Amino acid sequence: MGKAILYDATLCIGCKACEQACSEQNHLPYNETIAAEEATSEHKFTSVLTRGENYLRRMCMHCEDPTCASVCPVGALRKTELGPVTYEESRCIGCRYCMVACPFSAPKYEWGKVLPGVRKCTMCAQRVAAGQATACAEACPTGATKFGDRDELIAEARQRLAQNPTQYVNHIFGLSEVGGTSVLMISGVPFERFGMRSNYVQEPLPLLTYRVLSRIPDLVTLGSVLLGGVWWITHRRAEVAAAEGNATKPGEKEPETEKNP
């Protein structure tokens, strides 16, 4: 059965214990400066955003049908049966297609390294495979971040929304966005307040790509679409490089962007 994380923003107190636990789990630096960074980065896999008295965690959403894995030419990213989307650095050739393809801007590049790779939350895949909860869920003092079976967490989220309709926005983020994700979020304020987009497609993006291609009748048109795709990816790579190039060192902020899938 697929595992998942349910993040209930109404229970979050912004203590950032999840951030600290994540850094320890992944042998990453963590200090006051990094705690103050709102964007995820190659040295910060999860971030707690603050808007007044409201909070929202950001991290890789562990899509049920991840575009990052579908565009990776060498299979470095993979959706596992248990839920985590894992990354195998030894396979990675550094093309950064995953960064371009991800609708949540989750993968980050190690621009400052001689042999850079891609970094993102792995949903603590090794812990999950060993039957443990993710480190962030284990560390959360309020139960705002909860680990469990995806089906059971969806039922629990529905129950919380039904029992407290005035306390929550009536939406389980990740239930159907981009075909569903293994990170589910519920909140008392609109997700848009934290810079999230409200118009994610409700079906898997790789499926959309396949449908577009399957409707193209001849090879000439297909060729032009593929060339267009190459231009788009190259263009996006330049954009991602520009956005990330100077702002991913510890202590520096980087703007978090949501892309249009």
Binding site for ligand SF4 (CB under 6 A): 21-22, 25-26, 45-46, 59-63, 66-68, 71-72, 74, 76-77, 85, 92-98, 102, 104, 106-107, 118, 120-124, 134-136
Tokens (6 digits) for 4: 């998942």
What is the radius of gyration, based on Cα positions, of the chain? 18
Kindly tell me which of 49 and 85 has the beta carbon lying closer to ligand SF4: 85
Minimum CB distance to ligand SF4, residue 52 (Å): 24
Write down the least CB distance from residue 165 to ligand SF4, Å: 29
CB of 172 to ligand SF4, least distance (A): 16
Q: Is residue 151 packed enough to be buried (19+ CB in 10 Å), middle (13-18) or exposed (0-12)?
A: exposed
Distance, in Å, from the CA atom of 240 to the CA atom of 232, rounded to the nearest integer, reads 12
Please say which residue, 161 or 259, places its beta carbon nearer to ligand SF4: 259
Print the SS3 string covering 15-74: CCHHHHHHHHHCCCCCCHHHHHCCCCECCECCEEEEECCEEEEECCCCECCCHHHHHCCC
CB of 187 to ligand SF4, least distance (A): 18
Q: Which is nearer to ligand SF4, 137 or 169 (CB)?
A: 137
> If you search the block for the tokens 């989750």, which residue do you land on?
106
How many residues are given for the chain?
261
Of 9 and 59, which has the nearer Cβ to ligand SF4?
A: 59
Phi/psi-derived region of residue 229, left when phi > 0, alpha when psi is between -120 and 50, beta in every other case: alpha
Indicate the residue among 61 and 169 with the shorter CB distance to ligand SF4.
61
